[in-house]
Amino acid sequence: MIRSSRNPKAHRFTESPVLQLALQGWRSRLIGVLLMLSFLLLIVWAFYLQVVNREFLQGKGESRYLREIEVLASRGRITDRNGDILAVSTPMRSIWMIPADARQMSAAQKRKLAALLQVEVREIDGRLASEKGFVYLKRQLPPEAAEEVAKLKLPGLYQEQEYRRYYPAGEMAAHVVGFTGIDDKGLEGVELAFDHVLVGHAGMRSVIKDRRGQIVEDVVAMRPPRDGRDVRLALDNKIQYLAHSQLKAAVLESRAKAGGAIVVDTRTGEILALANWPGYNPNKMEKRSGAHLRNRVVTDSFEPGSTLKPFVAALALENGKYRFGSLVDCAPGRLTLGGATITDAHPHGTLTVAQVIQKSSNVGVSKMALSFTPREMWEMYDALGLGQVPHLGFPGEVAGRLRAWKNWRPIEQATMSYGHGISVSLVQLARAYTVFARDGDLLPLSLTKVEQPVLAGKAVFSAQTAREIRAMLEMAVQPEGTAPQARVASYRVAGKTGTAYKVEGNAYVKKYVASFVGLAPVSEPRLLVAVMIDEPSVGRHYGGDVAGPVFSRIMGGALRTLGIPPDAPTVQVAQSVSDKERL
């Protein structure tokens, strides 16, 4: 039997003396303060992490899953004046891999991959052995082939979009359009000259990737891509094809080293065609190297020969020292100056100024040139743009060679009157001849389309002088002239031949440059064509025989292509001469 204690001094459980032990007052306060400080520290740390240092921590977190992906922009197109495409970027795919992950591929998978990429298995093995974290396996793969690669679902293999440049005109316009590298940057021609216009600006987007680098979610497009702008050239595809095909045929027929041709619209200065041979196909990257890449019309200079004679005659008419029918004694077909002798290919007696140009007399034009001071003749050449870069904006433009007049000796002044001792590019020569097509105005040339005709250029000669020289040039293509093969059926044509020795080292060698520059229709000049054949080695080497027929075919085809109506039948030479003698 249990009995309850009635002892008044007995303690209840809730009144245990242990529980009744009380802490000293300062200790309880200390614990309270410590607890409060701990909570305050946690609050401050949370504020620091979530407010003060938020961007750093968020960046660290995002770096483990968030990526910024570049979105490529397309390069602008290059078109001819009518909108026909000369260069365009087509979408392609690049295959790249992380070697450490891709090593899991089996031998069978490698063989399938090699077949799709058209490479050897050992090439894939070589890339897999790389210690790099990123290795390209194949650049610029067609999208169809890239889709087949994606279906294999190989470890460590990834794809990205890029562009490849395609040139529909091929070698026909290669020297003008140029080409880009594998990174879509311009390397030659218009692609290089207008790279700042054509190049696009890549965009950017944020994506979430898993630990294997695969995109699992698009987050936001941070910056949209901006495609490059198109460039519209002055070229006419049909005339360009005509010039290229005729030049190529002429170079091959004469077994020449090279050749060039240019077609200019004399109303605007637009270059409607610019052809070179030998050529290349810009779509074949492995063959884009060597001398055949040179745009010789712009980057090569040569001694122009007799094509400069009309300018000396124009200076003589302009200064009033000679008239159209003034007589020049060219007998006996040679002229000795300072121990050197100038000769004519065919000796002549007394000729009019017009006949000096028609029959291309070196003696006659030398005597006219020596009636001027060296400075007068130099200033005329300088005004025509000789010795100066043409400023087409084309890479590699040359200025040619025009020495300072103070150093000219009489024999040098005489030889420069018929195109020796001076060098020009074909584009410079074509531009200089615009003064005869435009009544004395020198016209700037343009690679890009010009919307409005150029009303006035730089005045070099008077309109009267230009018209008289045009009549002389028309005489030069008649049977009594040096270039009857340059005539065009149903059109009046005016032009001048050039035949010059080449310089190798410091001496002339028996190698020739044959050239012809002319315009049509004479009644209202619209087109100007210049042709140069370098080192013809089969048949004759004179400009009228080699370059004249090329001019005729290009000019005739271009006039018909543009629908320019034929002018009146060519007047008889005798009538033309007698009319001009009355001026």
Beta strands 78-79 and 85-97: pairing type? antiparallel
Q: What are residue 95's DSSP bridge partners? A: 138, 159
Residue indicated by tokens 């045009």: 470
Q: How many CA atoms lie within 13 A of 189 on its CB side?
A: 30
For 44, other C-beta atoms within 10 Å of its C-beta total 11
- Burial (CB count <10 Å: 0-12, 13-18, 19+), residue 431: buried
Residue indicated by tokens 């410079």: 428
Please pick, among 89, 301, 306, 417, the residue that the annotation labels catalytic.
306
- Burial (CB count <10 Å: 0-12, 13-18, 19+), residue 539: exposed
Nearest to 262 by CA among 270, 254, 253, 271: 271
- Give exposure, 147-177, as e/b (b: 16+ Cβ within 10 Å): ebbeeeebebbbbeebbbbebebbbbbbbbb
Q: How far apart are CA 193 and CA 180, in angstroms?
A: 11
Residue indicated by tokens 């629908």: 563
Residue indicated by tokens 């004679």: 309
Nearest to 519 by CA among 572, 472, 575, 581: 472
**Please, are residues 71 and 220 in contact by the beta-carbon 8 Å criterion?**
no
306 in catalytic set = yes
**Please, are residues 358 and 476 in contact by the beta-carbon 8 Å criterion?**
yes
DSSP per-residue letters across 143-205: HHHHHHHHHT--TTEEEEEEEEEE-TTGGGGHHHH-EE-TTS-EEEHHHHHTHHHH--B-EEE
The DSSP letter of residue 28 is: H
**Please, are residues 29 and 37 in contact by the beta-carbon 8 Å criterion?**
no
The DSSP letter of residue 423 is: B
Q: How far apart are CA 392 and CA 191, in angstroms?
A: 14
Give the three-state DSSP class for 129.
coil
In the structure encoding, which two tokens stand for residue 310, read together?
Answer: 């009309």
In the structure encoding, which two tokens stand for residue 97, read together?
Answer: 């891999």
Question: What is the total residue count of the chain?
Answer: 583
**Please, are residues 187 and 280 in contact by the beta-carbon 8 Å criterion?**
no
Residue 20 vs residues 9, 15, 26, 28, 30: alpha-carbon distances, Å? 16, 7, 18, 15, 20
Report, as residue numbers or ranges, the catalytic residues: 306
